[in-house]
Chain A
Amino acid sequence: MAGPVLEMRSITKTFPGVKALSDVNLSVAAGEIHAICGENGAGKSTLMKVLSGVYPHGSYEGEILFEGEPCRFKDIRASEQRGIVIIHQELALVPYLSIAENIFLGNEHARRGIISWHRTLTHAAALLKRVGLHENPQTRIADIGVGKQQLVEIAKALAKEVKLLILDEPTAALNDEDSRKLLDLMLELKAQGISCIIISHKLNEIARVADSVTVLRDGRTIETIPVGADGIAEDRIIRGMVGRDLEHRYPERTPEIGETVFAVEDWTVQHPIDHHRKVVDGASLTVRAGEIVGIAGLMGAGRTELAMSVFGRSYGRCTGGRVLVHGREVSTRTVPQAIGHGIAYVTEDRKHLGLNLIDDISRNITLSALGKVARRGWVDRHEETKVAESYRASMNIKAPSVFAETGKLSGGNQQKVVLSKWIFAGPEVLILDEPTRGIDIGAKAEIYQVIADLAAQGKAVLVISSELPELLGLCDRIYTMAEGRITGEVARADADQESLMRLMTVSAAPQTAAPQTAVSRPEQV
């Protein structure tokens, strides 16, 4: 292969009081897929923001060479003109505009400000074909799934004649099927001569597509490792990322399982808009004291919908079913009722549903159980501070104080704050929805320990996760869901990834024959 298409030399970027990047070097060969690994807060996103001009030239030290020429981007537009396009983890699409309008947003086919719809639509159709998305370009973004939206983002990048495509955790929100397609597309683009940088936590993905891996830690380059034909040195990458061995990624535990604490029977939920569609269909499950039970399922299987519906009807319309706590039927019609019956739900979407990002750690932790630090409606702020401090210590929340804004914490620390909030509420049943999504390996290990401790205290824990190794490493028993139904219940000893995956994909309709429908939308009338 030719020389490097991109070289970043001695990049140093400081924020007030923090050195986010110090002396980082990155070299991407032309036509390769280059992976960047690192814990959250290692500086991956900052580095990409420097590269794409979000942080303009002059706000950092060091130099950037693209195709051999020094670059001084003053904004994103400047870097895009050179063919460097970044696709962020949170997609930047306008939901109520069409696919075609989104692809050419800011880059319209127009003459004197008047858009040529003919050229827009034909060009969009051609780009969609290139990324393998079979949708009408006039479909609204809001009407297609996340996987397809990701492809639209890539089509948008192609419209800008991208030479170096940067993907920031592109598969974080995708199911396995969509992830596989996306990675295939990356390999295809590579064959067309487009270089690519992928930021990812998933080592198996990196092993599949990447040619080399650069590991960042604490704002420094640790090393760049070529990916050989025989795969990657996973241990070496993990060690590089966290700087320590992770032999016990999952805590050792000897479960002491008691009586059934929490049971859901025959729970059925309709889609909030499309009432003909059952998002959850007759689901039943039980969790016992001291037990960690998993729910495995692909995206769209109805796991989150089941949990949120049970927790105060926070999703859709429940049309039937019972919730039992200690064998007694209880009403969980509102969130306060659910909390009152000792149920806690830790959301998968901590930024939008879990935290008040503009408020501090202490007040986020106490929000769901303010009464515990209050007398007759008045909050004892010192008691509250003490409580928050104790969680900061026990959960190892890394922040200067409990008065730090949660919006400024890393993903792992934010997740610890959300967990603290619900542990403080003192529930008997904890439903943890993707408790380790988007957080680094070190924080994951800590959260696994917290989950194990909760079970050891006799809580009933229900874990929803898309990562099968996580469920296998953590749970005593695993349910599988597909298309809104519970399709299996497997004891830990009898479970492995293949058997779970088989149960997660069982369906009335033969899905393997038509992968297009497997994406997540069984929404026929």
Chain B
Amino acid sequence: MAQTQTTPKTPPGPAAPARTRSTGTVLAEALRGNVRQYGMLVALALIVVLFQIWTDGTLLKPLNITNLIQQNGYILILAIGMMIVIIAGHIDLSVGSLAAFVGAAAAVMMVKHDLPWPLALAFALLIGAVAGAWQGFWIAYIGIPSFIVTLAGMLLFRGGTQILLQGQSIAPFPKGFQKISSGFLPEVGPHTNYHNLTLLLGLGVLAVAVLQEVRGRRQAASYGLELLPVGFFLAKLAAITAAVLVFTLLLASYHGAPIVLLILGALLVGFGYLMRNSIIGRHTYAIGGNEPAAKLSGVKSKRVVFLAFVNMGVLAALAGLVFAARLNAGTPQAGINFELEAIAAAFIGGASASGGVGTVLGAIIGGLVLGVLNNGMSLVGVGTDYQQVIKGLVLLAAVGFDVYNKRKVGS
């Protein structure tokens, strides 16, 4: 435990903590810690507003919001796993192929062998875990760079997909399985103009979010930490409330919350908490930040890296299942370029190429920036050729902005 000791008194130097500071400084400091994430949140809002105008309001129509979630669900799932792999200082190029492979395997199990879909789903996730373990073994325990191992995996799993499917699509899937991607929360309760369960869920989320904020603030205060001024705090709460309510009402006025959104929400909360508050999450950041130092601090870095890849495998499998369910087929062409979208999402959302930095929420924000761009540009009628050019520039700009910002702060 902390010891008490008589350290020699030193005169307060320039670095001594100054408790009285202007609101501006406090705010600036709060922002500086997360420039990239706040920046991206602002950018996301900006993009949404722009496309909302350009599409004459189509972007934020309930139907389109629902589409947006269902179209991007699998990329967001991949982005979460990718973020963790990148935080650990690695990369995974194989996730698109692995997603296709798992989708194909699920199709074979359900369609050709008539396996009940929940069982097939469990097997499929297991396949993902095994594939992740295979790659994690070579990376963590043998020491082959992840770039090489997963490049090999990209070929391996793509080939495996084609072997499994023999060049053909397999369809259709059982109804229950399709629901993973196209289903919604069930309708219950009296007939209102809105989807009741979704409304309740939205209110629940809101209550928890506000409670968390307040609790966090109270605890921060009890430890004598610096707080946002009350005005800003209230503004933040109001912003959270408005965002959750608007989003809930939009969804509830259509079919309600899609199942994919529930999966995503659970993953976001679960992995967000895991990375922030669990020992293994902490160790992941430490390895990415300085692996030799982490090892000398007793972190079992091989095991952590191995597990990060196992986790990526499972999430890639889940993404593959969601995608297959959406397509209602297992096809050899599934998952092409998914890895690139997921990697781009992670970097737009604040990951550092050298590891040790990033958050799960950031990966979601990054993925949404890409998703809204995709969706918005399609609505406006921009061709896929120009869409790619623009997305490339956005990735470059986001990371470039961050590098520039770090240099300004660091020098």
Contacts and interface: CB of A to CB of B under 8 A. Distances in A.
A359 B3 CA distance: 24
Contacts of B188: none
A55 B356 CA distance: 28
B228 interface: no
Interface string A220-259: 0000000000000000000000011000000000000000
Nearest to A363: B282
A326 interface: no
Interface stretch (A105-113, A371-379, A511-519): A371-379
A510 to B, nearest CB: 37
A332 to B, nearest CB: 12
Interface residues of B, number: 48
Contact of A367 (B3, B280, B299, B352): B299
Interface stretch (A68-76, A84-92, A182-190, A398-406): A398-406
Contact of A18 (B1, B14, B224, B278): B14
Contacts of B20: none
Contacts of A358: 289-290, 352, 356-357
Q: Majority SS of interface residues in chain B?
A: loop
A381 B276 CA distance: 9
A449 interface: yes
Interface stretch (A139-147, A157-165, A386-394): A386-394
Contacts of B290: 352, 355-358
B18 A449 contact: no
Contact of B292 (A352, A386, A449): A352
B13 interface: yes
A336 B15 contact: no
Contact of A378 (B6, B219, B278, B293): B278
A5 interface: no
Given A394-B4, A400-B18, A359 B285 contact: yes
Given A370-B282, A378-B277, A401-B226, A356 B3 contact: no
Interface string B53-89: 0000000000000000000000000000000000000
A359 B16 CA distance: 20
A325 B93 CA distance: 47
B175 interface: no
Contact of A377 (B7, B278, B411): B278
A352 B357 CA distance: 17
A312 B219 CA distance: 38
Contacts of B1: 426
Contacts of A379: 277-279, 282
Contact of B289 (A357, A377, A421, A453): A357
Contacts of B352: 358
A353 B296 contact: yes
Given A359-B356, A382-B223, A446 B7 contact: yes
Nearest to A360: B33
A387 B8 CA distance: 21
A62 B197 CA distance: 68
A379 B280 CA distance: 10
B10 interface: yes
B190 interface: no
A424 B276 CA distance: 21
A93 B279 CA distance: 38
A354 B283 CA distance: 14
Given A335-B295, A352-B290, A356-B356, A445 B282 contact: no
Contacts of B286: 356, 359, 363, 367
Given A18-B14, A387-B2, A450-B7, A356 B296 contact: no
A311 B295 CA distance: 11
B293 A355 contact: yes
Nearest to A395: B7
Contacts of A367: 282, 286, 294, 297, 299
A36 interface: no
B383 interface: no
A314 interface: yes
B15 A356 contact: no
A450 B293 contact: no
Contacts of B293: 347, 352-356
Given A367-B299, A399-B17, A449-B5, 15 more contacts: A15-B411, A355-B290, A357-B290, A363-B285, A367-B294, A370-B283, A381-B276, A396-B10, A401-B17, A426-B1, A446-B7, A446-B10, A450-B7, A453-B3, A453-B5
Interface of B: 1-8, 10-11, 13-18, 25, 33, 219, 223-226, 276-280, 282-283, 285-286, 289-290, 292-300, 352, 356-357, 409, 411
27 contacts: A218-B14, A219-B14, A243-B11, A244-B11, A312-B296, A314-B295, A338-B298, A345-B296, A353-B292, A353-B293, A356-B293, A358-B356, A363-B286, A367-B282, A374-B278, A379-B278, A385-B223, A387-B2, A394-B2, A396-B7, A399-B17, A401-B17, A424-B2, A449-B5, A453-B3, A453-B5, A457-B3
Q: Which 7 A-B pairs have the closest CB atoms?
A: A356-B289, A390-B2, A368-B297, A398-B15, A453-B5, A356-B290, A367-B297
